[in-house]
Amino acid sequence: MLYWDRTGFCLWQKRLEESKFPWPNTEEEVRKIPVERFHWLLNGIDFFKEHKKLKYKKVS
């Protein structure tokens, strides 16, 4: 899978150990998602964006 993430191209690949991808045995094992949700997965989370620092309190 190849896509652009605003800073460059990302390439996902999977190395096969037994020379084939596992295939679902039954219809129940198949996962289908709408195209919109697939795009959400590709867009992902911006890990470079600063986030609010967490503050912890002692419990004891």
- In a domain, residue 25? The reply is yes
Q: Which of 16, 9, 13, 18 is nearest to 1 (CA)?
A: 13
Res 23: pLDDT: 82
- In a domain, residue 53? The reply is no
- In a domain, residue 16? The reply is yes
- In a domain, residue 24? The reply is yes
Task: Please report, in tens digits, the pLDDT of each residue of the chain (60 residues total).
Answer: 888 888 888 888 877 777 777 788 888 888 887 888 777 777 875 555 677 788 888 887
| Number of folded domains that form the chain | 1
- In a domain, residue 22? The reply is yes
- In a domain, residue 60? The reply is no
d(CA 48, CA 8): 14
Q: Which of 23, 5, 3, 26 is nearest to 13 (CA)?
A: 3
Res 15: pLDDT: 78
Q: Which of 2, 1, 5 is nearest to 48 (CA)?
A: 5
**What pTM does this model have?**
0.33
Q: Which residues form the domain of 24? A: 2-43
